[in-house]
Structure 1
Amino acid sequence: MKKRQKQYYHPYEGKRGKPVWLLALLAVVLLFVLGFVVLLGLVLSGSHDEITGEPKVMVILGCKVESWGPSILLQDRLDKALDYLEDHPDLTVVVSGGQGADEPMSEAQCMYDYLTAHGVDGSRILLEDQSHNTWENLRFTRALLEEQGVDASQMVVVSNGFHLTRVRMLWSRVWDGETTLSTLAAPSSHVPSRLKMYIREPFALAKSFLFDR
């Protein structure tokens, strides 16, 4: 009688694992998402008021100027500053921001006009109107204060809350411990802009960490 050969069942035979390139792609996407979440957490954690000591100088950082005046985000910053200045009218104020290609005037001039229209003494306001990003805001502000001989040992910076983590990081590079920094976190009352900035700001934070030196 002819001997029968055994037939073996191989349930996984013929199936292949995922290509290496796909696994690598998934790993990159996962790292990207995790990195973004970490950076967003840093941005959110920095969005708060923090007053230390008695600031002598207030720096208001610029934002987009529209044809009709300050954008909503910039107006949020200015209104936050005005609230603080009501109780601290003797502060020297620096308004910092140049003129973009799509802006009718410099951000500094727009802020000056808004503040003086709301009762701030214009003689106490210094205009830094050459900067075009946060790194330049802080560097040029320092140069202006030194040129004017202003005591900048204690300062308060005003910006929208999403911006302040990056501001604190860059401030430490510009001033290197020579000043005491306080911050005022303005709200971001325009919802579409707020959502856009909370997506943009983690990338800006990473870029500034690597390149703004």
Structure 2
Amino acid sequence: MKKAFPIVLLVFGAIFTGYYFLCGSLAGFHVSMLWVWLLLGLLCIGKGLWDLLRKEKSTGKAARVLTVAARSAVSILLAAFVLAEGFVLSGMVKQPKPNLDYIVVLGARVFGTEPSPILQYRIDAAYDYLMENPETTVIVSGGQGENEDISEAACMAQELRKRGISSERILLEDKSTTTAENMAYSRALMSKENPTVGVVTNNFHVFRSVCIARKRAGLSHISGIPAPYPSVLLPHYMMREFFTITVDTLLGNTI
């Protein structure tokens, strides 16, 4: 049993490191926070090798205190991570509510004037919902970033019009740069006092977006509309949500 745990660490270290290089080779090593996988992998491998190769355990009081403190910190971190990922997963499996007053489609990267794959999934999900719910108004939300020829909102509106969605059903919010701004600025475009609203975003992002909409936009009747994200990067973005949920919580954006 004493040798089993270091071997488990080595296996996880190899998986984390391999995943880092797989994602980097397919999507580029510039992907936000991708380095976390390499760090986790190296830490697991280092700890596993240390436990396997060292001959005697330190028995001094200081060593025991440090060991207990380290294990406690790791346990708390893992518990928080599991809790956060449970919330993320709950958002990923949400079923859209029918006949909402508005849906807000959150922007993402635009290449020139064309949507990135991650944005295209959101546009597709919004289109499907609008076709099934003809009385719903859509707010496309997102400003213009660097190296983007048009705003994210304009790109989404353009794509929806191409597919037959009437301009009368589309409202543009093209000033926002964060999810909190997406929701706050979109709320200002809603004429109803207490509207029912759905947030269209990729599945891993639904839980946090709904929380932000409640907190920052004062939307009480808010639900998520998850768009798929069939990519090798899905586990990475789910992991990254732990950190972004933590940051948004500290900033008062979620609770």
Q: Given the two structures, how large is their TM-score scaled by the length of structure 1?
A: 0.81
The answer for the alignment partner of 2:138 in structure 1 is 93
- How many residues are matched? 196
Structure 1 pair 32–102 and aligned structure 2 pair: CA distance change class (3 A): farther
Task: Provide the aligned C-alpha RMSD in A.
Answer: 2.4
Within 5 Å, which residues of 2 pair with 1:1-213? 15-17=59-61, 18-52=63-97, 54-67=99-112, 69-145=114-190, 149-150=191-192, 153-176=195-218, 179-192=220-233, 194-213=234-253
Q: Deviations over 1:138-165 (max 9, x none)?
A: 11111222xxx35652122211111111
Structure 2 unpaired stretches of 5+ = 1-57
After TM superposition, the structure 1 stretch with the greater mean CA deviation from structure 2, 126-135 or 182-191, is 182-191
Check conservation: 1:48, 1:183, Cα contact below 8 A: no
TM-score normalised over the length of structure 2: 0.69
Aligned equivalents of 1:69 and 1:174: distance in 2?
A: 29
In structure 2, distance between residues paired with 1:61 and 1:171: 11
Q: Is the Cα contact below 8 Å between 1:48 and 1:184 reproduced in 2?
A: no
Residue pair 1:72, 1:190 contacting (<8 A) in 2 also = no
Q: Sequence identity of aligned pairs in percent?
A: 35
Larger Rg: 1
Moved more, 21-30 or 68-77: 21-30
**What is the deviation of 1:87?**
2.0
SS at match of 1:191: coil
Distance 1:171 1:40 in 2: 19
Alpha-carbon distance in structure 2 between the residues aligned to 1:210 and 1:88: 37
Question: SS state of the match for residue 92, structure 2?
Answer: coil
Gap change, CA 1:58 and 1:25, over 3 Å in 2 = same
Asked whether the 8 Å contact 1:76–1:189 carries over to 2, the reply is: no
Shift of residue 49 of structure 1? 3.2
What is the distance in 2 between the residues matched to 1:103 and 1:76? 18
* Structure 1 residue identity aligned to 2:105: I
The separation in 2 between residues aligned to 1:103 and 1:22, in whole angstroms, is: 50
138 and 212 in structure 1: CA distance in 2 versus 1, 3 angstrom threshold: farther
> Is the CA contact 1:135–1:212 (under 8 Å) kept in the aligned structure 2?
no
Instruction: Provide the rounded CA distance (Å) in 2 between the counterparts of 1:33 and 1:210.
Output: 18
Structure 1 letter corresponding to 2:245: L
Q: For the residues of structure 2 that align with 1:25 and 1:102, how far apart are their CA atoms? A: 44
Structure possessing the higher relative contact order (Cα contacts under 8 Å, 6 or more residues apart): 1
User: Which sections of structure 1, spanning at least 5 residues, go unmatched?
Assistant: 1-13
Higher helix content, 1 or 2: 2
After superposing the two structures, state which structure 1 stretch, 70-79 or 51-60, moved more. 51-60
